[in-house]
Structure 1
Amino acid sequence: MNKGIKKILFTVLPIALGVFLIWYFLSKLTDADKEAILNSFKSANYWWVFLSLFLGILSHLSRAYRWRFMIEPLGYKPKYSNLVFTVLIAYLVNLTIPRAGEFARASAIKKYEGIPFDNALGTIVSERIADVLMLLTIVGIAFFVQADFLFNSGLINPKQSIISLTIAGVIGLIAIALIRKSSHPFAIKIKTFLLGLLDGIKSILKMKNKWAFIFHTIFIWLMYVLMFYVVTFALPETSNLPFGAIIVGFVVGGLSMAITNGGLGVYPIFVASAFILYGVEENPAKAFGWIMWTAQTLMVLVFGGLSFLLLPLINKEK
């Protein structure tokens, strides 16, 4: 397939899927459902939503500060404001083109701080490795905390899970052995990717400010969880959810971001499905998902858009 067509499909399909899911979601709602969801929007306590947005801003500021720890060993001392604006621009770009935000971020910091694109992108990749490890940790916590619920509710069959994990483990070991010995281009790509992950982890552990980096990484993800948690108090139906429901809802919502741009059309459905399992009525659960997704998306649009405008203004000399 032509590379240009691939690029177009890679950009258009996630957005198209998200738009389709929104249409499908709305088409399945009865008039009573629409009225109930609309009433939830009207009666929600938006002070909790504003608190969530404030926590989100703190996470972005922390992410920009953490990035400095990766850049300074390269011999550069970028302005903190430039780091903040380029981080926000990356989030905005990711809403339109999946994973393009990382390239936009590296390009912007190259333009305004003179940091070579490849070096900047390398630091961003190392950051992402730390974020993936944190996400996997939270997924593990979610599974551990809710193991009894998942097993007792029949959502997961213990016997089948053990068999599946065993089979997956055996297949994984065989695949690793074959990839190590193979010279096929695809196998080389996988090896390069895995070695890159390993190098990224090593670079974090060897950096001068590794403990500060680790602190900010934990802080960023704590803010993400709290962003999600505080919005549950905006609606009476979700205000008394147990910690297990919060962490499961957060995980499935986070995973939905990988399906469409910014979780378009998917995030509310995934989060609502998780909350329904814990006894929340369907329409309030859906309302929560839409309130959460709308608030996050508007924050990215507003602050990302302002960053596009302000970045060249505060760097007029460049």
Structure 2
Amino acid sequence: MKASIRKFLSLTIPLFIGLGIIYYQYSTLTPEELEKIKISFIKADYFYIYLSLFIALFGFWSRAYRWKFALQHLGYHTKFHNDFFTVCVSYLVNLTIPRSGEVSRAALLKKYEDVPFDKAFGTIVAERIVDMLIFLLFVTIGFVLQFDTIYQYLVNNGVKFETLIWAGILGIVLFIIFILVWIYAEWKIILKLKQKLSGLIEGMQSILKMKDKWKYIFHSFFIWFSYLAMFYVTIFALPETADISFDVVVMGFIFGTLAVGFTNGGLGAYPLAVASILSLYGISEGIGTAFGYLIWVSQTLLTIFLGLLSYLLLPILNKK
């Protein structure tokens, strides 16, 4: 009973948050901004939308191809089409319950390639850690490039320089305390976390030991390059966004990516995050919202199409 309630809440809470964000955004937009959104969808140059979807396919392909290197390192030689289709299905499942796709991906590989669930899931967790590190690199670059804009925004909203300094000092102190507690504390919760993280560390170390580690690392960066390129080419779909600089694109990409984890596939949160960032650079909220929805709707439709198609093809191509 508890498991079913937990599953129900994990599905409905992000969904209601997303719907709430959509309602909030709709209610705060003026009639003129809503009209801008409507016109933007009608007059958008959909060549660039289709181009972004084409680039997205390379991201799906590269993620599946990267997975082969980790599986081969464990001694499992899987068929590429099974790797690709299970990746596509996992993206589809993530639209329902955030991060649940990883479980379904490992389960499908167990079903069609007989790779033990725990080992397949371990390679996926290692992937997520690598992806997180690369994304943090994007975040660092983005904030360095846009430090002046971010600082000015904070100042304009009443955040004093002294407050930022004290916040930085507090962050450093808390980090030092955390490290000391992690090293010396014998609390049960810390010991359990250490035990769980040991497996993740082992998974990361296996990447460095694998035969094709440089290919694995190359595809890891290529995946994120395709994500960024997919976002970048979409700016040319609207004349109002076509001239924004690349560093602004990076910031929009960063906050859009962060928003995806808050709701089901970024429902409501993704367009709001993108619009909020673009508004800092003179793009009206209506245009920014339209731009965010153009990306989100097109990518979501592609995810649904590829996920359903893959789910149908997996049993057909694996008939014995």
Quickly name the TM-score band, shorter chain normalised: over 0.9
In the alignment, which residue of structure 1 is the partner of 2:194? 191
Matched, 1:96 2:96: yes
The Cα shift of 1:34 comes to 2.0
The Cα shift of 1:102 comes to 0.4
The Cα shift of 1:187 comes to 1.8
The Cα shift of 1:73 comes to 1.6
3-state secondary structure, aligned to 1:237 = coil
The Cα shift of 1:22 comes to 1.4
3-state secondary structure, aligned to 1:238 = coil
Q: Which residues of structure 2 form unaligned runs of 5+?
A: none
Counterpart amino acid of 2:112?
Y
Matched, 1:271 2:274: yes
In the alignment, which residue of structure 2 is the partner of 1:18? 18
Matched, 1:164 2:167: yes
Matched, 1:236 2:236: no
CA contact (8 A) 1:138 1:251 kept: yes
CA contact (8 A) 1:102 1:121 kept: yes
Matched, 1:249 2:252: yes
In the alignment, which residue of structure 1 is the partner of 2:39? 39
Distance 1:157 1:145 in 2: 21
Distance 1:154 1:174 in 2: 28
In the alignment, which residue of structure 2 is the partner of 1:220? 223
In the alignment, which residue of structure 2 is the partner of 1:313? 316
In the alignment, which residue of structure 2 is the partner of 1:116? 116
CA contact (8 A) 2:33 2:285 kept: no
Counterpart amino acid of 2:114?
G
Compute the TM-score of the two structures, normalised by the length of structure 2: 0.94
Change over 3 Å in CA distance of 1:190–1:282 after alignment to 2: same
CA contact (8 A) 1:139 1:251 kept: yes
What per-residue deviation string (whole Å, max 9, x for no partner) do you get for residues 242-292 of structure 1? Answer: 112101000000000111111111000000000010111221111001111
Distance 1:255 1:163 in 2: 25
Matched, 1:174 2:169: no
Distance 1:261 1:190 in 2: 27
In the alignment, which residue of structure 2 is the partner of 1:148? 148
Distance 1:152 1:193 in 2: 41
What per-residue deviation string (whole Å, max 9, x for no partner) do you get for residues 77-113 of structure 1? Answer: 1000000000000000010012110010000001111
* Deviation larger for 98-107 or 189-198: 189-198
* Deviation larger for 111-120 or 22-31: 22-31
Change over 3 Å in CA distance of 1:157–1:239 after alignment to 2: farther
In the alignment, which residue of structure 2 is the partner of 1:75? 75
The Cα shift of 1:174 comes to 1.3
Distance 1:98 1:233 in 2: 30
Change over 3 Å in CA distance of 1:189–1:46 after alignment to 2: farther
Matched, 1:303 2:309: no
Change over 3 Å in CA distance of 1:134–1:296 after alignment to 2: same
* Deviation larger for 160-169 or 230-239: 160-169
Distance 1:232 1:157 in 2: 34
In the alignment, which residue of structure 1 is the partner of 2:62? 62
Distance 1:19 1:173 in 2: 39
Counterpart amino acid of 2:145?
V
The Cα shift of 1:158 comes to 4.9
CA contact (8 A) 1:151 1:157 kept: no
Detail structure 1 runs of 4+ shifted over 6 Å in the superposition.
none
What per-residue deviation string (whole Å, max 9, x for no partner) do you get for residues 137-172 of structure 1? Answer: 000010111112222344575543333222112212
Distance 2:117 2:91 in 1: 18
Compute the TM-score of the two structures, normalised by the length of structure 1: 0.95
Identity %: 45
Q: CA RMSD in A?
A: 1.7
What per-residue deviation string (whole Å, max 9, x for no partner) do you get for residues 284-315 of structure 1? Answer: 11100111110111110000110000111100
